[in-house]
Structure 1
Amino acid sequence: MDNNIKIGMADYKVGEKDNILVTLGLGSCVGVIIYDSANKVAGMAHIMLPSSLEIKNNSNKMKFADTCIDLMMIELLKKNINKNSLKAKIAGGAQMFSVSLNSDSLNIGKRNVIAVKEKLKLLKIPIISEDVFGNHGRTIRFNCSNQELNIKSIGKGETVI
């Protein structure tokens, strides 16, 4: 029985108990995991861009930190979780290409991480651990049973947070 739930780019999914939430290819994108450890319920989002307000073509609400996390929270709340005990883990937000400008506007990875952190702070969900920035891609796997986030990075190996 395959208990993996795959999350594509600009998507989110909710899992529970024995599910493993998986997303591939986080470069400048950020993987956001919000979970309730007592009930073994978690959601994972693959965030591509920081804000839906900055883009004209913003019809896919799952692309953006400001809207995707809200959509995922609606699904999580349907699973009888304790909203006050939610925690988060995040990974990604790399700067995949060398940019020699003095502006962070082209550093989408950094802007994504900032947007995700601001949204989680607004929702009063503490970030327990993170693996962000750098210049390497990541694949992440979150185990809903034990709340371990396994991170595989090209050239960096594997870590668990």
Structure 2
Amino acid sequence: MNITNNIVKVGIADMKMVEAPEVIRTSGLGSCVGVVVYDLSLKIAGMAHVMLPDSNLSKRENLNELKYADTAIDILYSTIIDNGARKFALKAKIAGGAQMFSFNSTKDVLRVGNRNIEAVIERLNKHRIPIISSDTGGNSGRTIEFDPSTGVLKIKTVNTGETEI
């Protein structure tokens, strides 16, 4: 059986929701963080591809709320609950947040990967969603794929291969 028809792709600064037998995937996670929130017993999951930590830093009107950890996770949470997931059953897995470039500076603004990880964790905690596992940091890009029927997050990391969490 050709399973590729069941893959739902999440773009950069995007969010989607799936139900098994679909799986959900995002590519291009450098300093971005892929956030999966799921209800395993109902076999549903949502994924957000977060680019930046805080929407308050944007000065633009009609900003893409899916770009920022604070707003994207709120939307992800609401979407999955509105589609039948149960608050008490929600769990999360996260990956990404790499430091893609080396800087000769200690300025916090350049630590986008770390700031994204911190913002994602803070927002998931706000919603009382436990993070079951994570693969964050480092300096390599990732592609992630989540299967809501098994709860397995496959992570392909540039130069190091594939792992599952």
Question: Is the deviation greater in 87-96 or in 103-112?
Answer: 103-112
Q: Which residue of structure 2 lines up, in the alignment, with residue 17 of structure 1?
A: 20
Q: Which residue of structure 1 lines up, in the alignment, with residue 161 of structure 2?
A: 157
Q: Which residue of structure 2 lines up, in the alignment, with residue 49 of structure 1?
A: 52
Runs of 4+ that moved beyond 2 A: none
Of residues 68, 90, 93, the one that matches 1:89 is 93
Question: Is the deviation greater in 111-120 or in 66-75?
Answer: 66-75
Q: Which residue of structure 1 lines up, in the alignment, with residue 76 of structure 2?
A: 72
Structural RMSD (CA): 1.0
TM-score normalised by length of structure 2: 0.95
Instruction: Give the letter aligned to residue 4 of structure 1.
Output: I
Could you tell me how far apart the structure 2 residues matched to 1:25 and 1:74 are? 25
Give the drift of 1:4. 0.4
Q: Which residue of structure 2 lines up, in the alignment, with residue 121 of structure 1?
A: 125
* More helix as a share of residues: 2
Of residues 60, 77, 102, the one that matches 1:98 is 102
Give the drift of 1:123. 0.5
Question: Is the deviation greater in 98-107 or in 62-71?
Answer: 98-107
Instruction: Give the letter aligned to residue 154 of structure 1.
Output: V
Q: Which residue of structure 1 lines up, in the alignment, with residue 38 of structure 2?
A: 35
Instruction: Give the letter aligned to residue 28 of structure 1.
Output: S
Give the drift of 1:137. 0.1
Identity of aligned residues (%): 50
CA displacement, residues 93-116 of structure 1 (integer Å, 9 cap, x when unaligned): 000000121222211000000000
Instruction: Give the letter aligned to residue 83 of structure 1.
Output: K
CA displacement, residues 104-139 of structure 1 (integer Å, 9 cap, x when unaligned): 221100000000000001110000000000000000
Structure 2 unaligned spans of 5+:
none
Three-state SS of the structure 2 residue aligned to 1:118 is helix
Instruction: Give the letter aligned to residue 30 of structure 2.
Output: G
Structure 1 unaligned spans of 5+:
none
Three-state SS of the structure 2 residue aligned to 1:158 is strand
Is the 1:104–1:110 contact (alpha carbons within 8 Å) kept by the matching residues of 2? no
Question: Is the deviation greater in 15-24 or in 57-66?
Answer: 57-66
